[in-house]
Amino acid sequence: MVTSKNNNNIMEGKNESTPSFLFKMLRGAYRFTRGTYRLIRIQKPVTKLLGLSYIRSRKFIEIDITYLCNLSCFNCNRSCTQAPSNEKMTVEQIQKFVKESIDNNVKWERIRLLGGEPTLHTNFFEILSLLLEYRKDYSPDTTIEVSTNGFGKKVNDIISKIPKEIQISNTSKKSSVSLFAAFNITPQDFILYKYADYSNGCWVISVCGIGLTPYGYYPCGVAGGIDRVFGYDYGRKKLPSPDDSMIDQLQVFCKLCGNFGYCKLTNREEMSSTWGKAYNRYKRRKPNLSLY
């Protein structure tokens, strides 16, 4: 009887673990296939034949209003942990963005505020008011969104006061240990990307939209975060025209961004040598970038 009971338990254990095992196998196979396709697709000969994988958005924009954050998440793709800073956009810069949008007849489908933790900006509600005014007077179909980590009493108190017209994307983080893509794994450090065409960009430039930081416009907000560490000072100081695909910026920043390659999710800090050296330089002396 004892042997039979143990055997039953063993069989039950196998039955319970089989779906999980199969799921992991299928997920691994999918990721491998996707990663292999991506690696082939971004090579220069393939890109020349098929065209670019992604193009930068003309309807979405992410505005990094501050790099100040109340968490220290590993692999932060704005380097808020790796290169902490209180850099922020001014109200005047937001006013300039609104004016440029109107003057160029740009009716954004979505304007997303983030950072850093955007609610920590000292002029957070004034910035919201400017964007709401833009929507009311010029672009009534624009979605205005705040992306927040929802961590801590201060942040949640501010969230509770956000006007109902604003959409809130709240990740409700409980600690600094979260799953992030391995952003600091630099493609240019690996031979597999020796012949990559970085003009391809990645899904971020299409789905998240172009980025605006204290230092100008970029094909995505991640690129702006890279520039503040490396100090290329490549931010556009004027709103890019629709025919500006921002290819020159993609060729510079994508080779430094883990999102371009097969970027695994991890809750540990992972970093290639190029980023390690860049952060060491940043700690010794922050780059002096020209303002938007």
Which of 216, 215, 198 shows the shortest CA–CA distance to 289?
Answer: 215
- Report yes or no on 26 lying in a domain: yes
- Report yes or no on 247 lying in a domain: yes
- Report yes or no on 49 lying in a domain: no
Residue 21 confidence class, pLDDT cut points 50, 70, 90 = confident
Kindly state the average pLDDT of the residues 128-144.
Answer: 99
Q: What's the pLDDT at 238?
A: 98
Tokens of 19: 């779906």
Q: Are 64 and 93 in contact (CB under 8 A)?
A: no
- Report yes or no on 51 lying in a domain: no
Domain tally, the chain: 2
CA distance 235 to 224: 7
Which of 258, 282, 252 shows the shortest CA–CA distance to 80?
Answer: 282
Helix (H) or strand (E) segment spanning residue 103? helix 91-103
Lowest-confidence pick of 42-46, 47-51, 156-160, 259-263 = 259-263
- Report yes or no on 54 lying in a domain: no
* 223 vs 268, residue with greater confidence: 223
200 and 91 in a common domain:
yes
Residue 59 confidence class, pLDDT cut points 50, 70, 90 = very high
Q: What are the helix (H) ranges across 220-285?
A: 221-230, 247-253, 273-284
115 and 34 in a common domain:
no
pLDDT digits (tens, 9 = 90+) for 248-278: 999 999 999 999 986 677 778 889 999 999 9
Q: What's the pLDDT at 179?
A: 67
CA distance 214 to 268: 29
DSSP-derived 3-state class of residue 89: coil
Q: Find the domain containing 8 and state its range.
A: 2-41
Q: What's the pLDDT at 266?
A: 76
123 and 16 in a common domain:
no
CA distance 175 to 192: 35
pLDDT digits (tens, 9 = 90+) for 103-135: 999 999 999 999 999 999 999 999 999 999 999
Residue 17 confidence class, pLDDT cut points 50, 70, 90 = low
- Taking each helix axis from N to C terminus, what angle separates 91-103 and 124-137, rounded to the nearest 10 degrees? 10
- Taking each helix axis from N to C terminus, what angle separates 273-284 and 221-230, rounded to the nearest 10 degrees? 60
User: Rounded to two decimals, what is the model's pTM?
Assistant: 0.90
34 and 178 in a common domain:
no
Residue type, 139: S
Residue 3 confidence class, pLDDT cut points 50, 70, 90 = very low
- Is the pLDDT assigned to residue 181 strictly greater than 90? no
Q: Are 42 and 53 in contact (CB under 8 A)?
A: yes
Tokens of 160: 């509770």
Kindly state the average pLDDT of the residues 233-258.
Answer: 98
Share of the chain above pLDDT 70, in %: 91
Q: Select the highest-mean-pLDDT range: 31-35, 37-41, 56-60.
A: 56-60
Q: In what order do the strands lie in the sheet with 110-114?
A: 167-170, 143-148, 110-114, 60-64, 210-213, 216-218
